[in-house]
Amino acid sequence: MVGTPLKEYFEEKQYKRGRDLFCYDTDPKKKYTDDINKAEIVFIAVPTPRRVKDGRCDTSIIRSAMRMLDGEKVVVMKSTMPPGTSEQLQEMYPQHKFMFNPEFLTESQAKADFLNPDRQIVATTEKSRGFASDVLLLLPIGSFSSPGALTTYDYIYIKVTSAEIGKLATNSFGMTKVMFANILADICDGVNGVFGKKIADYEEVKQVLAHDKRIGPYWLEVLHGNYRGAGGYCFPKDFDNVITSVADTIAKLKRKKGDTKLVERLEKGHRVFKAFWDYNITLLKHQNLSLSDVSRHDTEVQKVVKKKKR
């Protein structure tokens, strides 16, 4: 799915390969071997998988992609990255102008989500700010757009690091809501166990929550196909990215002898995130599943779960 909706969108807009659209992929099966240095604006959409050894986001493919670029480019990152990555790249490659254009796609309807975004954000570094509107105009219009909406004179500029955190926060909030729902389901089972009969039903509790407009129905299902818990390609990866990023931030603040009260709050927040993470691991374990079993694309997850739960 990485990069595919973007390529198809430009092709449907009558951009032509080799003329004003250049595609490159290291996978020879895809046959994308265009000279990307002919482009002035380069979108980088590559996988940033979770490293099993430490939970951190692997950005090595991004670094490899950057080494391919010559001259001066407007570089639009679409891959999910740890906070601060775009600013680091801007410092490493000062000849380029870096932006971050996060994608908010569901795997089951990636193209539809790409064409009808609720948010279209082109976040910038200080150096790239003057080019953000040009990139925004290349993309589908969102209900909310940054730096500006076509229907208003309001321009809201978002910094690249704010957008990086916002992207991670979106999926992490989703996973947190899934965990919260599962905990509520366990509470219902616990109450039923105490009373010796079914007096609480999570499906009914869900209706109470889902019809509150401030909460909504999304991410309240506890069953995903044939298992409970949070899985998929993005949720665990991005949630763990938040956990490790907070831990790294705490360590760096301590080395700099930063605000001790802020550090204390971050440490407590880190424990909250870690508690949700550990709950998910336990929930999966009780179904004879591991995190790696469910940290896959949806169709793969269901096959693995079906096999493990036989």
pLDDT at 143: 87
Question: What torsion, rounded to 10 degrees, do the Cα atoms 57, 61, 66, 68 define?
Answer: 180
pLDDT at 256: 95
CA dist., res. 310 & res. 242, Å (int): 34
Report pTM: 0.92
* 166 residue type, one letter: G
pLDDT at 151: 56
Strand 223-224 relative to strand 227-228: parallel, antiparallel, unpaired?
A: antiparallel
Q: Which residues of 154-184 are buried (b: 16+ CB within 10 A; e: fewer)?
A: eeeebbbbebbbbbbeebbebbbbbbebbeb
Strand 41-44 relative to strand 74-77: parallel, antiparallel, unpaired?
A: parallel
pLDDT at 1: 43
CA dist., res. 1 & res. 6, Å (int): 10
pLDDT at 67: 94
pLDDT at 163: 98
pLDDT at 51: 86
pLDDT at 217: 97
Q: What averages of pLDDT result for each successive group of 10 residues across the chain (310 residues)?
A: 80 93 91 94 93 86 94 96 96 98 89 93 97 94 82 80 98 98 99 98 98 97 93 94 96 95 98 98 97 90 84
Q: How far is CA 32 from CA 29, 97, 236, 277, in A?
A: 8, 24, 30, 38
pLDDT at 150: 52
Both tokens of residue 275?
A: 């508690």
Q: Encode pLDDT of 148-181 as tens digits.
A: 755 556 788 999 999 999 999 999 999 999 999 9
pLDDT at 50: 87
pLDDT at 21: 95
pLDDT at 149: 56
CA dist., res. 226 & res. 1, Å (int): 23
All domains of the chain in start order, with CATH: 4-158 (3.40.50.720), 168-308 (1.10.1040.10)
SS3 letters across the chain: CCCHHHHHHHHHCCCCECCCECCECCCHHHCCECCHHHCCEEEECCCCCECCCCCCECCHHHHHHHCCCCCCCEEEECCCCCCCHHHHHHHHCCCCEEEECCCCCCHHHHHHHHHCCCEEECEECCCCHHHHHHHHCCCCCCCEEECECCCCCCECCCEHHHHHHHHHHHHHHHHHHHHHHHHHHHHHHHHHHHHCCCCCCHHHHHHHHHCCCCCCCCCCCCEECCEECCCCCCHHHHHHHHHHHHHHHHHHHHHCCCCHHHHHHHHHHHHHHHHHHHHHHHHHHCCCCCHHHHCCCHHHHHHHHHHHCC
pLDDT at 280: 98
Q: Encode pLDDT of 81-129 as tens digits.
A: 999 999 999 999 999 999 999 999 888 888 899 999 999 999 999 999 9
Question: What torsion, rounded to 10 degrees, do the Cα atoms 204, 206, 210, 215 define?
Answer: 140
pLDDT at 16: 94
